[in-house]
Chains A and B, each alone.
Chain A
Amino acid sequence: NAGVTQTPKFQVLKTGQSMTLQCAQDMNHNSMYWYRQDPGMGLRLIYYSASEGTTDKGEVPNGYNVSRLNKREFSLRLESAAPSQTSVYFCASLLRRDTEAFFGQGTRLTVV
């Protein structure tokens, strides 16, 4: 049982480049989330998906797009990366609010 898997673990981008962060969960969870965490800061919600086919903006959605490809997969895309998007990105999944959320191991992204 892998839980929540994020790829890649590390990535360096040049300003203006695009990339997609992948997230997959094998727990049949309904909801999935993308967060960013800057050094010394808490987690900030970028986008979330309540169920397959639906996505909603979180606290800091600007500069990002998401796709809930199916129940298992939720991807985060940076169309034109900026140095301000240098951060650690976490994906999470959740069955219901009365159960626990599970997190991936994170993707450390540096934009130069």
Chain B
Amino acid sequence: LAKTTQPISMDSYEGQEVNITCSHNNIATNDYITWYQQFPSQGPRFIIQGYKTKVTNEVASLFIPADRKSSTLSLPRVSLSDTAVYYCLVGDIWQAGTALIFGKGTTLSVSS
């Protein structure tokens, strides 16, 4: 399984763009990159997933460079409600039932 490394914590202010980078140097050819968000006392929820280049949805954007050894989750114009823990996961989508390892994640604190 590809090991991921993220910053432990980040601080931001309302209205700013936040970029959280995840390193996954030993990512394999069939690995996808997935990001989850977790609020206190809740289970994580899916934010976005991608394989290469850029993926955008109504919540975030995911930037993946050509070598795929890192990825960046971009949250546009954050609000107080974006304060949460963000997890980066890497895994082979073709291996059914592989372990889903979350790691420590990045705690994002948004202030007014």
Contact = CB atoms under 8 A, between A and B. Distances in A.
Given A104-B43, A105-B43, A106-B42, A96 B100 contact: no
A45 B103 CA distance: 9
Contact of B102 (A43, A49, A106): A43
A61 B16 CA distance: 41
Interface string A38-56: 0001111100111100101
Interface string A48-78: 1111001010110000000000000000000
A23 B91 CA distance: 24
Interface stretch (B44-52, B59-67, B76-84): B44-52
Interface of A: 4, 30-31, 33, 35, 41-45, 48-51, 54, 56, 58-59, 88, 90, 92, 94, 96-98, 100-101, 103-106
Contacts of B95: 97
B101 A59 contact: yes
A106 B91 contact: no
Given A30-B96, A42-B87, A103 B104 contact: no
B32 A97 contact: yes
B43 A106 contact: yes
Nearest to A103: B43
B100 A94 contact: yes
B49 A31 contact: no
30 contacts: A30-B97, A31-B96, A42-B102, A42-B104, A42-B105, A43-B87, A43-B102, A44-B102, A45-B99, A48-B97, A49-B97, A51-B96, A54-B97, A56-B97, A58-B99, A59-B101, A88-B41, A90-B44, A96-B96, A97-B34, A97-B94, A98-B32, A98-B93, A100-B34, A101-B46, A101-B100, A103-B42, A103-B44, A103-B45, A106-B43
